[in-house]
Amino acid sequence: MSSETKQILTTDGIPLEVSLKKAERRNKIKAFLLVAPLLFFLIITYVFPIGDMLMRSVDDKMVTEMLPKTFKAMETWDGKELPEEEVFEAFYLDFRKLVDEKREGKLSTQLNYTKNGFKSIIKKLRRKSKSFEEGNYKEQIMAVHKRWADVEYWKAIKRRAPAFTGQKYLKGMDMYKNENGDIVSVEEDRRIHRILWLRTLEIAFFVTLFCFLMAYPIAHLLATLPMKYSNLLMICVLLPFWTSLLVRTASWMILLQQQGVVNDFFVGIGLVADDARPEMMYNKTGTYVAMTQILLPFMVLPLYSVMKTISPSLMRAGKSLGGTPIVAFWKVYFPLTIPGIGAGCLLCFILAIGYYITPALVGGASGTLISNQIAFHMKSTLDWSFASAMGLMLLSGVLVIYWIYNKIVGIDNIKLG
């Protein structure tokens, strides 16, 4: 039997499905119009910038556009011996054009990123190329400087042929593509990014752990205390939210610095000598303390919202069935709070991994995170494509964590409030 014969018709003879769609279309349009402003807003402020960031991080069109004829001529070059005359000719033509447009300086900067030594020979080439004769460009260019006769430099140019590159990502991992196209690590004493990634993960992990250890009892208290006390406690938990982040960080600076309140107290009770005050700021300790305090509410609230729904009779049931309070807690209460723990930890970890302002202020040299490095490249070196690449690496790291969490606990088993 075909589906048409089974179709149910309304009294007017219109198929039921069509009629239903028609009846619901109005509501669907209304619903869409209601969410449209937000959708529009999200596309403009979120999807578009992230897409732009992605493009920027792999974009390498500059050199490609500057040397179009050269790269075309290089297509047939095997990259072992020096290229043929036609490549030199194409390069000369491209270069003349750049000199006319006064853009050869940019080319030298870009090529110098790929291989040191381009700057001076391009300058020299510009001077000499004015008096070049037609024909036999290979000889003439190679005569400008001995590096122009070195195949390694031509290989370096060819490496810049693709319009897209992953080298910023490699740089973010302290790696690069060498002359032979192999991916290798930079020398050990120049590996800063790996240290930062590891430190970021470490700090995010421990901050999440500390938050969890402190938030669990608080959330439990909040969920079990009588209303009048729990409201007060809730205000205490939320108080940091009502204070500016900068003010909170600054307060930690006042508290933790060497001449600060905490150190004064330690000296006062004789715990440490006045001339041996411990450094609790401008290092990891400062970052840990301040970030834990700042991220604590993000752990408390999901935990609280889950604990609130756990009936106190469950713990009682566990005890009345013979479980000691510890067994009842561990077998009954704790498993039921896992959705809250997952949500809180995920939230804290993701916030911590991209945290910027607090580590920048209290972290010092050993307490800064990858986000500070991103900011540095955004503001100081202006290497936006590198900053974008690291930003995306951070984003994908978060997505990986999300994915792992989904595999282990299940994302449907999460409760954000």
Partner 1 sequence: MNKEFVKFDKVDKSYDGKTLVVKDLQLDIEEGEFVTMLGPSGSGKTTCLMMLAGFETPTHGEIYLNGKAISSIPPHKRGIGMVFQNYALFPHMTVYENLAFPLRVRKIPKDEADKKIDKALSMVSLQGFADRMPGQLSGGQQQRVAVARSLVFDPQLVLMDEPLGALDKNLRESMQYEIKHIHESIGVTVVYVTHDQSEALTMSNRIAVFNDGKVQQLSSPDELYEKPVNSFVAEFIGENNTFAGEVSDISGGKCKVKIANAEILANPISVKGKGEKTKISLRPERALINPSDKMDNIHSGKIEEVIYHGDHTRVRINLLGNNQFILKVPNSSANMDIKLGKDIKIGWNSDDARALDPK
Write down the least CB distance from residue 233 to partner 1, Å. Answer: 21
**Nearest to 57, CA basis, from 388, 404, 320:** 388
31 binds partner 1 (CB under 8 A): no
E strand intervals along 165-283:
175-177, 183-185
Write down the least CB distance from residue 311 to partner 1, Å. Answer: 6
Q: Are 203 and 369 in contact (CB under 8 A)?
A: yes
The residues that bridge with 16 in the sheet, in sequence order, are: none
The residues that bridge with 184 in the sheet, in sequence order, are: 176
Contacts of 367 (CB under 8 A, 6+ apart): 203, 282, 283, 284, 285, 286, 287, 359
- Please say which residue, 310 or 398, places its beta carbon nearer to partner 1: 310
Give the DSSP per-residue string, 28-85. HHHHHHHHHHHHHHHIIIIIHHHHHHHHHHHB-HHHHHHSHHHHHHHTT--SSS---H
Query: How far is it, in rounded angstroms, from Cα 393 to Cα 399?
Result: 10
331 binds partner 1 (CB under 8 A): yes
The window from 6-14, 77-85, 105-113, 322-330 that contacts partner 1 (CB under 8 A) reads 322-330
Write down the least CB distance from residue 323 to partner 1, Å. Answer: 5
Q: Are 91 and 141 in contact (CB under 8 A)?
A: yes
Q: Give the residue carrying structure tokens 């938050």.
A: 211
Which tokens sit at 342? 């997952």
Helix (H) or strand (E) holding 329: none
Write down the least CB distance from residue 329 to partner 1, Å. Answer: 12
- 83, 286, 302, 318: residue in contact with partner 1 (rule CB under 8 A): 318
340 binds partner 1 (CB under 8 A): no
The window from 15-23, 69-77, 167-175, 307-315 that contacts partner 1 (CB under 8 A) reads 307-315
- 316, 382, 404, 411: residue in contact with partner 1 (rule CB under 8 A): 316
227 binds partner 1 (CB under 8 A): no
Number of residues engaging partner 1 in binding (CB under 8 A): 19
Write down the least CB distance from residue 416 to partner 1, Å. Answer: 19
Write down the least CB distance from residue 230 to partner 1, Å. Answer: 18
336 binds partner 1 (CB under 8 A): yes
- 11, 228, 322, 380: residue in contact with partner 1 (rule CB under 8 A): 322
Q: Are 337 and 306 in contact (CB under 8 A)?
A: yes
306 binds partner 1 (CB under 8 A): no
- What letter does residue 9 receive in the DSSP assignment? B
Query: How far is it, in rounded angstroms, from Cα 335 to Cα 173?
Result: 38
Which tokens sit at 204? 């995010």
- 55, 184, 327, 382: residue in contact with partner 1 (rule CB under 8 A): 327
Write down the least CB distance from residue 315 to partner 1, Å. Answer: 9
- Please say which residue, 215 or 315, places its beta carbon nearer to partner 1: 315
- Please say which residue, 32 or 334, places its beta carbon nearer to partner 1: 334
Write down the least CB distance from residue 307 to partner 1, Å. Answer: 14
313 binds partner 1 (CB under 8 A): yes
- Please say which residue, 180 or 311, places its beta carbon nearer to partner 1: 311
Residues that bind partner 1 (CB under 8 A): 311, 313-314, 316-325, 327-328, 331-332, 335-336
